[in-house]
Chain A
């Protein structure tokens, strides 16, 4: 038996949300949803896991702090310690108050950049990448739901129409 892909297109995010809930309560799996803007509550309705990207940012920040400290320690204490303006640089812990601004900047630098890079990699976004959205109106004003169906497509289509889809397309997989 062939698998068919059904695209349900909605005009309104409220209808989309209630439709997602309705379809999922009937044990039909939704493959993907494409939206022109972030719809609040959609991740809960689709039962998506919470993203862990904020945790990575914390880890990268710690990494930046450690690398920044090591850099300053090596340059100011190990490799070439100097007595600048009567303030000697023999020990790190005595001088650390003066290093706070740079350590802070290193933390933010690593945290922000590496998190953004992680985001791009996890979402497979890269310069020149191509969009896999089945309908290009999804970046404008349409909300699109993708459902893969093995057997009878009519019940799914009916459910989509009933919950407010304005357009339903079908594609043989």
Chain B
């Protein structure tokens, strides 16, 4: 049996039995959606449709419909790509790294965090594909000869590393998520009645792969989860390191920095946890999971945000120092221009949201408040988007030749595609919250007696 110190706060509130956990997790799947769900779903779906139209227009006309110009030839597309990939990272951190550290509080949030990872990677992957201009030639990035003839891809290129990193990350995340889902699908399958909802029963039978919960199967299941966590941990760090090398291996001042890999990984975890909080604070209300996603879970995540946010702040300051210390005037100008040039406002938003905002979590009253956390998590999401915008656009818009200097302004289509991916992301997440077991109930049951509030009080 699992043992836990009695002074630790409970992770499951209220008087719950194993059967109660089953019922609570199955309720959103078995019941009908409430009003809030329909409102949120309709909003997201409209945004998604706007995105679809914008993408169709881009593909039909060409990427000239974006606000890019000769000087700023990379802007919102790559900003959105890096932002979405970064958001995905928290899911893997929660499910893999916290599993290796045996953190039990991950159990009620890991399923949704992993779902978020997968849906965020889907959004991220859209951008490079759209940016190809001819997305039907997307297979060029895979190791097959171009035109099925003679020329191979270049394995020295960070963009190709990215293809391998993102596709491995996506597929391994899906497998890790699905292996964990099998016992929970089996639970839903066994609750469904074959007479009342035969279609649903068949669907969940299909998805649960015939899981029955034999002792040997559980033993293998735990081993597989542990090894997958061990593989996913270096994988998640490699993915954002490789994303950062898209910039760091170039010679553009402001990008050519050795600090980029750790700085990007930390930023990714920072923004990802903010997005997990945004989603879970809404979800615990919409599908009634207040007993499982408690203020304690939010506080733990806020502490990680405080840590990673402070490290991101340190990285910003280190970057500034290094540009001055390098003695290279181009490098010095790139950073001076970021802070005081025409894009000073973007830099100010980035600094305020990413460096100052997380420091508020030193106060216990703030990090243990749902409302404050929700508001601050939105600030961090915005701040981290602007971080990527600042890195990408301000480094490009004033290049070596002053006659080529220009500004970037997004078009209606740029905005449409970005908001469209937000709509797509929430559409997927809302559909998930109604059809999947949103809490890893099998795992959660194993800690009920060590971390449930009822059992804790008995001791």
Q: Do A and B interact?
A: yes
Contact of A89 among B156, B210, B216 (CB under 8 A): B156
Known contacts A36-B18, A140-B19; is-contact A131 B206 (Cβ 8 Å): no
- With the chains together, A55 CA to B310 CA distance in Å? 39
Verify if A167 is at the interface (C-beta below 8 Å from B). Answer: no
Contact of A101 among B165, B176, B179, B224 (CB under 8 A): B165
- Evaluate contact between B218 and A38: CB separation under 8 angstroms: yes
Known contacts A37-B442, A139-B183, A139-B187; is-contact A51 B219 (Cβ 8 Å): yes
- Evaluate contact between B152 and A75: CB separation under 8 angstroms: yes
List the one stretch of A1-9, A21-29, A79-87, A150-158 in contact with chain B: A79-87
Verify if A91 is at the interface (C-beta below 8 Å from B). Answer: no
List the one stretch of B167-175, B293-301, B344-352 in contact with chain A: B167-175
Interface size class on chain A is: 35 or more
- Evaluate contact between A131 and B216: CB separation under 8 angstroms: no
Query: Which B residues are in CB contact (< 8 Å) with A76?
Result: 152, 154-156
Query: Which B residues are in CB contact (< 8 Å) with A170?
Result: none
A62-103 CB mask vs B (1 if < 8 Å, else 0) is 000000000110011001101010010100000100110110
Query: Which A residues are in CB contact (< 8 Å) with B223?
Result: 51, 53-54
Q: Which residues 172-211 of B have a CB within 8 angstroms of A?
A: 172, 175-176, 179, 182-183, 186-187, 189-191, 205-211
Verify if B330 is at the interface (C-beta below 8 Å from A). Answer: no
Known contacts A38-B442, A139-B183; is-contact A115 B227 (Cβ 8 Å): yes
Verify if B217 is at the interface (C-beta below 8 Å from A). Answer: yes
- Evaluate contact between A113 and B2: CB separation under 8 angstroms: no
Contact of B442 among A36, A46, A104 (CB under 8 A): A36
Verify if B279 is at the interface (C-beta below 8 Å from A). Answer: no
- Evaluate contact between B186 and A42: CB separation under 8 angstroms: no
- With the chains together, A146 CA to B179 CA distance in Å? 26
Query: Which A residues are in CB contact (< 8 Å) with B153?
Result: 75
- A95 nearest CB across to chain B (Å): 7
B235-264 CB mask vs A (1 if < 8 Å, else 0) is 100100010010000000000000000000
- Evaluate contact between A98 and B215: CB separation under 8 angstroms: no
Greatest chain A CB density within 10 A among B150, B175, B191, B212 is at: B212
Query: Which A residues are in CB contact (< 8 Å) with B222?
Result: 38
- Evaluate contact between A141 and B22: CB separation under 8 angstroms: yes
Q: Which applies to chain B's interface (DSSP): helix, strand, loop or mixed?
A: helix
- Evaluate contact between B210 and A140: CB separation under 8 angstroms: no
Contact of A48 among B156, B205, B216 (CB under 8 A): B216
- B321 nearest CB across to chain A (Å): 28
A13-35 CB mask vs B (1 if < 8 Å, else 0) is 11000000000000000001111
- With the chains together, A98 CA to B206 CA distance in Å? 43
Contact of A112 among B205, B214, B231 (CB under 8 A): B231
- With the chains together, A71 CA to B238 CA distance in Å? 21
- With the chains together, A72 CA to B156 CA distance in Å? 10
- Evaluate contact between A36 and B187: CB separation under 8 angstroms: yes
- Evaluate contact between B212 and A131: CB separation under 8 angstroms: yes
- Evaluate contact between B161 and A102: CB separation under 8 angstroms: yes
Write the chain A residue with the least CB distance to B249.
A98
- With the chains together, A36 CA to B186 CA distance in Å? 10
- B32 nearest CB across to chain A (Å): 22
Greatest chain B CB density within 10 A among A53, A125, A129, A138 is at: A125
- A123 nearest CB across to chain B (Å): 5
- Evaluate contact between B172 and A112: CB separation under 8 angstroms: yes
- With the chains together, A104 CA to B169 CA distance in Å? 12
Query: Which A residues are in CB contact (< 8 Å) with B231?
Result: 57, 108, 111-112
- Evaluate contact between A80 and B150: CB separation under 8 angstroms: yes
- Evaluate contact between B172 and A131: CB separation under 8 angstroms: no
Verify if A124 is at the interface (C-beta below 8 Å from B). Answer: yes
- With the chains together, A57 CA to B22 CA distance in Å? 32
- Evaluate contact between A75 and B155: CB separation under 8 angstroms: yes
- Evaluate contact between B154 and A140: CB separation under 8 angstroms: no
Query: Which B residues are in CB contact (< 8 Å) with A41?
Result: 1
- A75 nearest CB across to chain B (Å): 4
Query: Which A residues are in CB contact (< 8 Å) with B152?
Result: 75-76, 79-80
- Evaluate contact between B219 and A141: CB separation under 8 angstroms: no
Query: Which A residues are in CB contact (< 8 Å) with B410?
Result: none
- With the chains together, A127 CA to B443 CA distance in Å? 22
- Evaluate contact between B164 and A102: CB separation under 8 angstroms: yes
- With the chains together, A74 CA to B46 CA distance in Å? 48
- Evaluate contact between A130 and B210: CB separation under 8 angstroms: yes
Verify if B341 is at the interface (C-beta below 8 Å from A). Answer: no
Contact of A133 among B2, B154, B213, B245 (CB under 8 A): B213
Query: Which A residues are in CB contact (< 8 Å) with B227?
Result: 53-54, 57, 115
Write the chain A residue with the least CB distance to B221.
A38
Known contacts A43-B215, A102-B161, A105-B165; is-contact A129 B172 (Cβ 8 Å): no
- A58 nearest CB across to chain B (Å): 9
Verify if B220 is at the interface (C-beta below 8 Å from A). Answer: yes
- With the chains together, A127 CA to B206 CA distance in Å? 5
Query: Which B residues are in CB contact (< 8 Å) with A127?
Result: 206-207, 209
Query: Which A residues are in CB contact (< 8 Å) with B214?
Result: 32-34, 123
Contact of B172 among A54, A57, A113 (CB under 8 A): A113
Query: Which B residues are in CB contact (< 8 Å) with A98?
Result: 155-156
Contact of A35 among B17, B182, B218, B220 (CB under 8 A): B218
Verify if B228 is at the interface (C-beta below 8 Å from A). Answer: yes
Known: A35-B213, A37-B218, A39-B218. 4 other contacts (CB 8 A): A37-B443, A40-B1, A105-B235, A109-B171
7 CB-based A-B contacts, threshold 8 Å: A54-B223, A101-B245, A113-B172, A124-B210, A129-B210, A137-B190, A138-B212
Q: Which 9 A-B pairs have the closest CB atoms?
A: A129-B210, A141-B18, A125-B209, A133-B212, A101-B161, A75-B152, A136-B190, A105-B164, A131-B212
